[in-house]
Structure 1
Amino acid sequence: MTAVFDPFFVTIAVSTVLLVGLSKAGLLGSLGMVGVPLLTFIMPARDAAGMMLPVLLAMDAIAVWSYRRDVDWHILKIMLPGAMVGTLIGWGLWAVVSDAMVLLFVGIITLLFILDAILPLRKRLEGLPPSRPWGRFWGTFAGFTSFVSHTGAPPFQIYVLPQRLPPAVFAGTAAWFFAIVNTSKLIPYYFLGQLNPANLTLSAMLAPVGVVGVLAGVYLVRRISAKYFYRIAYWLVFLLALKLVWDGVTGLLG
């Protein structure tokens, strides 16, 4: 654990967890999914995923409490069954699917989502009742990518963003969704050896930073207009998609 006291290590780790905390509150769209990619600068990707899970659960607890009255339960009932299936698929394919493959796949799907969002057809679809098959599909995809590399936000947002929920309800629905999904990952991660003493020690050190990020994000989400909230969210998701595609391609070629 000597690396923990390296200035570069501390800077990357603290900045990453703070960013994820702000995103967990719903402030930065899906930008929090860069957590594992950013941590790969200082640790292996699989170790980063294991270390982040307890930190994410601490953030989830704060986010769920903060948004306990701002939840679209109908969306959760549609997406969560698929997410549980996706979690099992991720567990089964853990040794086969590389981090680079997941990042590239998620990045391409997210870019297609952004292109679809600017087409006239998207304007006609926004606000329609959520489709169960569509929601189950994206719930499964979100569960799978969340299990492999904590990158479940874009699939979740592909289904939920077009519903144009109020910002607090969107954030609350995301908070509950990922709190349940992350909790379901505890047993598989334990058996895969991801919750080892080194990872748990680092998680305990970084969890307070994540909690601060969530609280700051909750404060800001409740004070931003829906118009600017969604404009910022779509732009951040677009930029993130470009980064994911780049990281996936360079990872596969490397």
Structure 2
Amino acid sequence: MPDVTLSFYVVAAFAVLITGISKSGFSGGMGALTVPLMAMFISPFKAAAIMLPILCCMDLLSIWAYRKSFHRKNLIILVLGALSGIGIGTLTYSYVDANDIRILLGLLTLLFGVSYFVGDQKEKKRTEASSSVGGVCGVIAGFTSFVAHAGGPPVKFFLLRQRLDKTVFVGTNVAFFLIVNQVKLIPYAWMGQFSNENLLLSLIFLPIVPLGIWLGLKLHKLIAPELFYQISYLMMILAGGKLLYDGMSPLVF
């Protein structure tokens, strides 16, 4: 049995549950908190390796509910960019300071999340999709997803401004991360991240995944579109704040 404490199991189980709810119901957001929560007890690299197989299972369960509800053009633009981002992450992983990435991404995520709640909500207009912006967001999402499992904010930055139907919005996120997380398995395996201990811990938490996905799907159907978008932006603020805190903690404390 892996040498971890009971507190780790309790916190990690809660983190997996809220990640499943967030992923299937609100297109992620809370998922950015999972690795930091686990990292209170184990190394961030170990936490990321444990979570990747779990995330892949969540993606596979979620995609069935959204198999007909995703924006094909947005998905293609984002995925093409993300493949480049994953490649960059693989080649530069040993040279990049993950905390610098967390700080930059946290600031951008916070600014975008807060901007939604500033000013007259009636003036919030739908923005047309831009292939160039989507491509850049895809590259950033692929890179940050690889180094810190934090690819959600760049994707949301691109999609939220389009004011898509809430189900199409979540479905596009689900389809995007289904592809990205499956691709990430290759470099993670190549880097030796899937030890027997890590895989055993992933297996222990897998039974929680269906419950989280089911709860997320139920909540998605119950929540009105405007409230859904407010929750999504609030999740961006939480994720941005957590990323910023995690990135700055080694410098401050």
Show the counterpart of 1:13: 12
Give the TM-score normalised by structure 2.
0.93
Show the counterpart of 1:65: 64
After TM superposition, list the pairs within 5 Å mapping 1:1-254 onto structure 2. 1-4=1-4, 6-27=5-26, 29-118=28-117, 126-254=125-253
1:160-183 deviations in Å (ceiling 9; x for gaps): 011111221111110000000001
Once the 2 structures are TM-superposed, how far is the Cα of residue 240 of structure 1 from its aligned partner? 2.4
Q: Check 1:57–1:29 CA distance in 2 against 1; reply closer, same or farther (3 A cut).
A: closer
Tell whether the 8 Å contact from 1:78 to 1:136 is kept in structure 2 after alignment: yes
Q: Check 1:228–1:188 CA distance in 2 against 1; reply closer, same or farther (3 A cut).
A: same
Two-structure CA RMSD over aligned residues (Å): 1.9
Supply the distance in 1 between the matched residues of 2:127 and 2:161 (Cα, whole angstroms). Answer: 8
5+ residue gaps, structure 2, are none
Tell whether the 8 Å contact from 2:109 to 2:236 is kept in structure 1 after alignment: yes
Supply the distance in 2 between the matched residues of 1:47 and 1:164 (Cα, whole angstroms). Answer: 36
Once the 2 structures are TM-superposed, how far is the Cα of residue 3 of structure 1 from its aligned partner? 3.3
Q: Secondary structure of 2:207's partner?
A: helix
5+ residue gaps, structure 1, are none
Q: Check 1:121–1:223 CA distance in 2 against 1; reply closer, same or farther (3 A cut).
A: closer
Once the 2 structures are TM-superposed, how far is the Cα of residue 44 of structure 1 from its aligned partner? 0.5
Tell whether the 8 Å contact from 1:28 to 1:236 is kept in structure 2 after alignment: no
Identify which range, 202-211 or 117-126, moves more after superposition. 117-126
Supply the distance in 1 between the matched residues of 2:161 and 2:196 (Cα, whole angstroms). Answer: 41
Once the 2 structures are TM-superposed, how far is the Cα of residue 222 of structure 1 from its aligned partner? 1.6
One-letter amino acid of the structure 1 residue matched with residue 108 of structure 2: I
Supply the distance in 1 between the matched residues of 2:124 and 2:87 (Cα, whole angstroms). Answer: 31
Supply the distance in 1 between the matched residues of 2:215 and 2:72 (Cα, whole angstroms). Answer: 25
Give the TM-score normalised by structure 1.
0.93
Once the 2 structures are TM-superposed, how far is the Cα of residue 119 of structure 1 from its aligned partner? 5.8
Between the two proteins, the alignment pairs up a number of residues equal to: 253
